[in-house]
Amino acid sequence: MSITEPPPVELRGVGKRYGNQTVLEQADLVVRRGEFAVVVGRSGSGKSTLLRLIGGLEPPDAGSVLVGGRDLGGLTERERAELRRRRLGFVFQFFNLIPTLTVGENVQLPLALNELPKREAQRRAAALLAELGIADCADRFPEELSGGEQQRVAIARAVAHEPDVVLADEPTGNLDIDTAERVLELLEQTCRRRGATLLMATHGREVIGRADRVLRISGARIEDATP
């Protein structure tokens, strides 16, 4: 008898409030393995909150958030941190690179946290930087790079440890239109090649045509808005 593998991301009746504001109410969601799903909605609708809940960075007020079948609410903070290190990758609008580390060291960081041998971490980081077209940046520091180059480094860091899920919060929001298009293409291709689930919160309409599924947060609910 075959055992069905749990989905990489699942929400069951999730609720989240900030003071008097209800951001999510009885929200249900299943994101499939290898799927590219985009989350849209007006500013303040809860897109970033959704990603933070899935990333275990804050708890829901009601319901359950499951990553790979594991209910985050049933884990200790240490267990949630370990799950993030091994199964999740993050890409942010403002890059969040460590300024005192070189590009290569930034990409190797999640590998070091997962105790990968240094030589293998260096090899994997170099291969990723080459794949993203910035191999010559390995020994430079983030402040020496353009915004587009920094976001490519952030993508490399997010997928270096081969996570099941990549959470991207407005990853092109701080870039010009042409650079944003190229970075978006690289992020999508990099995740698809690895079979990673990509869940992206964005205002950008250009993303919708690339995604397998479009999710809209409206009235504190998550709706399928795929064209």
Q: What is the pLDDT of residue 106?
A: 96
CA distance linking residue 15 with residue 26, whole number of Å: 6
Residue 4 has a pLDDT of 82
Q: Which domains does the chain have, with CATH numbers?
A: 9-224 (3.40.50.300)
Q: Which pair of structure tokens corresponds to residue 14?
A: 């999730």
Give me the residue label for tokens 């919708």: 208
Q: Indicate the pTM of the whole model.
A: 0.93
Per-residue pLDDT at 2: 44
- pLDDT less than 70: residues of the chain: 1-3
* pLDDT score of 175: 85
Q: What percent of the chain has pLDDT over 70?
A: 99
Amino acid 1: pLDDT: 39
Task: Supply the pLDDT for residue 3.
Answer: 65
Strand partners for 213: 37
pLDDT at residue number 44? 80
Say how many CA atoms lie within 13 Å of 140 toward its Cβ: 13
